[in-house]
Amino acid sequence: MKTSAALDRISPSPTLAITTKVQELKRAGIDVIGLGAGEPDFDTPDFVKEAAIEAIRRGETKYTNVDGTPELKDAVVAKFKRDNGLDYTPAQISVNVGGKHTLFNALVATVEAGDEVIVPAPYWVSYPDVVQFAGGTPVVIAAGPEHGYKLTPAMLEAAITPRTKWLILNSPSNPTGAAYTVAELKALGEVLERHPHVWIFADDMYEHIVYDDFQFATIAEVCPSLYERTLTVNGCSKAYAMTGWRIGFAGGATWLIKAMAKLQSQSTSNPCSIAQAAAAAALNGDQSFLAERNAAFKTRRDLVVRMLNHVEGITCPTPEGAFYVYPEVSGLIGKTTPKGQTIATDSDFVGYLLEEARVAAVQGVAFGLSPAMRISYATSEDILREACTRIQQACLALK
Ligand code: PLP
């Protein structure tokens, strides 16, 4: 039997592949530092774990509503109101098995062959693949360091065609950490107002991880005229260190939410009942731990940015949010390793770092903008210092 054409249009997630490779090396006893994974090193807060244990004790271990329990939908409604000033009813809320599942449901439920989806690069690795799985065409627009890794109104205007179905807007961004200001969102909103057939997938997964008094905003809040055609997407994975619990959610138009539920009813059914109880507790609970964790992330960000900028050939911007840096490595392309290999691409460079420095990062090509690499700084300062020292030494050895 052959695999399907839809499956053949996608590739396995490159970030998950690196995580697997690091685990293999560690099992083989090799001292490798993994900076590839996109998850916080912090633990899920205790009050969230307790809520899950209580849910088990109460017997909440059965099927639930396909796209979310009433309790969790109410918590999501309250979250959108509290954090984003957005009014949704429970019928406008979809709860899914992680934010990746929200993306999958929304695109597979709406995209048809020939539809275009605008994906600013560098992008989170799943966007183009899920667009392609759905049968659509990703229209990748390079938003490089000269634009602060952000889409400009002119770039957006030039990319929109009559076939554009969605714009994917991710702020703060994976992989760069770049985040859009209110003014920048308004300017993009003005373009979108002129093109009423374009829907907006606002991926706010890193909303709570921002630094230096950056004011997070989401486009439906800043441009109320776009509310009807915006799917505002968020989840528990990053802010609440709940990557393994698999809860993502979205607020949007009732018909779209229903369409996503229809697809979910024939695929995963409901997200795990226990994880939903934990997610409701996370959203309704005391949020003060977020600021403490952000303070730790900020110290790590500053350490990594400083140490990487000491390397000749690497330029590392200071991101506004998330827990990644995306240094540009063009100054290292064309150099030769001590073993005589030429570094021709960012994949070569990342391969060299893994082989020689025993540091795992992810090559920029995976995110659609080269030459660069993504480093996740969601690990301890000691480990980050050691990793950056190893990178510095490996780069010094290049000729
Ligand atoms: N959106 C962005 C930008 C992400 O980086 C991720 C995870 O890496 C997700 C969504 C999905 O997160 P999850 O499916 O783990 O909830």
Task: Give yes or no for residue 13 CB within 6 A of ligand 1.
Answer: no
Q: Is the CB of 243 under 6 A from ligand 1?
A: yes
Mean pLDDT confidence for 386-392: 97
246 Cα nearest atom in ligand 1: 16
Mean pLDDT in residue range 275-282: 98
Ligand 1 atom closest to the CA of 203, numbered from 1: 1
Average pLDDT over the chain, rounded to an integer: 96
Please state the rounded mean pLDDT for residues 28-44: 92
pLDDT at 9: 94
Give the model's pLDDT for residue 15.
77
For ligand 1, atom 8: residue with the closest CA:
38
Q: What is the pLDDT, as a whole number, of residue 348?
A: 94
Q: Are strands 324-325 and 362-363 parallel, antiparallel or unpaired?
A: unpaired
Average pLDDT over residues 21-42: 90
Please give the CATH topology (third level) of the domain spanning 5-43+289-396.
Aspartate Aminotransferase, domain 1 (3.90.1150)
Q: What average pLDDT does the segment 303-317 reach?
A: 97
Q: State the SS3 of 25-83.
A: HHHCCCCCEECCCCCCCCCCCHHHHHHHHHHHHCCCCCCCCCCCCHHHHHHHHHHHHHH
Q: What is the DSSP letter of 171?
A: S
Confidence category of residue 232, pLDDT binned at 50, 70, 90: very high
Residue 252: its pLDDT value, please?
Answer: 98
Give pLDDT, residue 17: 78
Please give the distance of CA 33 from its chain centroid, rounded to a whole number. Answer: 21
Structure tokens at 85: 């000033």
How confident is the model at residue 37, as a pLDDT? 84
- Ligand 1 centroid to residue 287 C-alpha, Å: 20
Cβ count within 10 A of residue 380: 12
For ligand 1, mutation pick of 94, 103, 124 (most atoms within 8 Å of CB): 124
Of 316, 292, 293, 294, the residue nearest 375 (C-alpha): 316
Atom of ligand 1 nearest to the CA of 235: 16
Identity of the amino acid at 177: G
38 within ligand 1 shell (Cβ under 6 A): yes
Atom from ligand 1 closest to the CA of residue 248: 16
Residues 61-284, CATH architecture:
3-Layer(aba) Sandwich (3.40)
Does 243 have pLDDT greater than 90? yes
Q: Which of 205, 234, 245, 362 to mutate to test the pocket of ligand 1 (most atoms within 8 A of CB)?
A: 205
Quick one: pLDDT at residue 19? Answer: 82
Buried b (16+ CB within 10 A) or exposed e, 33-46: bbbbbbebbeebbe
Q: What type of residue sits at position 42?
A: F
Instruction: Determine the atom of ligand 1 nearest the C-alpha atom of 236.
Output: 16
pLDDT digits (tens, 9 = 90+) for 2-25: 999 999 999 888 777 788 888 888
Dist CA 227 CA 231 (whole Å): 8
For the Cβ of 379 lying below 6 angstroms from any atom of ligand 1, the answer is no
Give yes or no for residue 204 having a pLDDT over 90: yes
Residue 326's pLDDT is what?
Answer: 98
Q: Are 302 and 384 within 8 A, CB to CB?
A: no
Residues 252, 233 contacting (CB under 8 angstroms): no
pLDDT single digits (tens) 356-385: 999 999 999 999 999 999 999 999 999 999
Question: What is the per-residue pLDDT for 56?
Answer: 98
- Taking the centre of ligand 1 as the mean of its atom positions, its distance from the CA of residue 3, in whole angstroms, is 26
Q: Contact 128/9 with Cβ under 8 angstroms?
A: no
pLDDT in tens, 100-157: 999 999 999 999 999 999 999 999 999 999 999 999 999 999 999 999 999 999 999 9
Question: In sequence order, what E strands does the chain have?
Answer: 33-34, 93-96, 116-121, 137-142, 164-170, 199-203, 230-235, 248-251, 324-325, 359-360, 362-363, 373-376
Q: Is the CB of 237 under 6 A from ligand 1?
A: yes
Predicted confidence (pLDDT) per residue in 54-113, tens digit: 999 999 999 999 999 999 999 999 999 999 999 999 999 999 999 999 999 999 999 999
Does residue 171 line the site of ligand 1, with CB under 6 A? no
- Is the beta carbon of 100 within 6 A of some atom in ligand 1? yes
pLDDT in tens, 172-190: 999 999 999 999 999 999 9
Domain chopping of the chain, boundaries: 5-43+289-396, 61-284
Establish whether residue 176 lines the binding site of ligand 1, counting it when its CB lies within 6 angstroms of any ligand atom: no
